Chains A and B, each alone.
Chain A
Amino acid sequence: MDPVHVVEVKEAVLADNDAAAQLNRDKMKEQGTVLVNLMGSPGAGKTSTLLQLIRRLKDAFRIAVMEADVDSDVDAKTIAETGVRVIQLHTAGLCHMDADMTRRGLEAMGTEDLDLIFLENIGNLVCPAEFEIGADLRLMILSVPEGDDKPLKYPLMFTVSDVMIVNKIDTAPIFDFDLEAAAMRARKLNPDIRIFPVSAVSGEGFDALAAYLADVVRERRAAYENH
């Protein structure tokens, strides 16, 4: 027998991640929970966006947050003050969450009695877009100081997201951010993307975003209860 044995694999490197993501998605659907993957640059306002959303949604729904960071627990502490369940995940240097890490986070936290789970991903516009976690909705935040050219520079993030939240609109007067240009660039990559301009400082725009999320959660709950 030839000592060298060649095996044709022909499998995408991330096939195992996609399969793990599908398991997460199936589990959430089965138990009537919505899993949201929240992504954006460091400092775009992911945690303060969550505070605004939790404030508007926590009376109607059972919410939990998974905070993913390379290190520290500052975000988890901030979220814990709202009274919702929170778990801090450390990626030990990795720049994104993958589906299996998400599964372990979900299992450690416990998800059976929840309507809505947010995963706050690592602050990064590149890698989190590459790794599916099995979310029902992908929200990305582009903040005004980052500039309206980001869809041109990080196209995958805008292509894979269901929602683009434009945060820090209260700072618009001091930056040359063109909302129309940002929206046009994002829609060119992803014609179905929903766009919500907000300010996590003043709360402006969050009623519309919270109403949209509430509709998604109610739809999932209705499907679960009629099942």
Chain B
Amino acid sequence: MHEMGIVLHLAKTLDETAEENKLSKIGRVTLQVGEVSGIMTDLFTDAWDYFKKKHPMLEECTLELETIPAVTWCDNCKKTYETVKYGKTCPHCGSGETWLLQGNECIIKEIEAE
């Protein structure tokens, strides 16, 4: 449900970037979304498609999503592992002294304009 809220923030940033770079239309935007960012990509795409129709600068803009894999670091055995598969408990040593290295991001990588 918060996907629409994120789309609104995305649109605001795109507006500002377009203004700074003197762009009148944006043709493509590439977003990097972490696997554990809490963003449902299907819902996000739907929210985007709904929103862009009401926003002339984005009317023809396509959205590309790149996934950033979630990786957790274990401070006990100093190894990394896949967060989605094992959660907070290290599969190498069973420790819970772990933290997320990457995977909760939602970053605008680049935009392409005409």
A residues with CB within 8 A of B: 3-17, 93-96, 98, 124, 126-127, 130-131, 156, 188
Contact = CB atoms under 8 A, between A and B. Distances in A.
B4 A94 contact: yes
A188 B108 contact: no
Main secondary structure of the interface of A (DSSP, over half): mixed
Given A127-B2, A131-B2, A188-B96, A9 B13 contact: yes
Contact of B23 (A7, A124, A126): A7
A13 B107 contact: yes
B106 A12 contact: yes
A3 B110 CA distance: 16
Given A3-B114, A130-B2, A98 B9 contact: yes
Interface of B: 1-2, 4-6, 9-10, 12-13, 16-17, 21, 23, 27, 31, 38, 88, 96, 105-114
Q: What are the 5 A-B residue pairs with the smallest beta carbon separation, nearest first?
A: A127-B2, A95-B1, A9-B108, A13-B106, A8-B110
B111 to A, nearest CB: 5
A6 B112 contact: yes
Contacts of B27: 4
Nearest to A94: B5
Main secondary structure of the interface of B (DSSP, over half): mixed
A16 B112 contact: no
B21 A7 contact: yes
Given A9-B109, A10-B108, A14-B106, A126 B114 contact: no
A17 B9 CA distance: 7
A163 B3 CA distance: 26
B2 A95 contact: yes
Given A10-B109, A11-B108, A13-B106, A5 B5 contact: no
Contacts of B111: 6-7, 9
B113 to A, nearest CB: 5
Contacts of A13: 6, 9-10, 13, 31, 106-108
B84 to A, nearest CB: 14
Nearest to A6: B112
Contacts of B5: 94-96, 98, 127, 130-131
B3 to A, nearest CB: 9
B23 to A, nearest CB: 7
Contact of B17 (A9, A95, A126, A127): A9
Contacts of B17: 7, 9
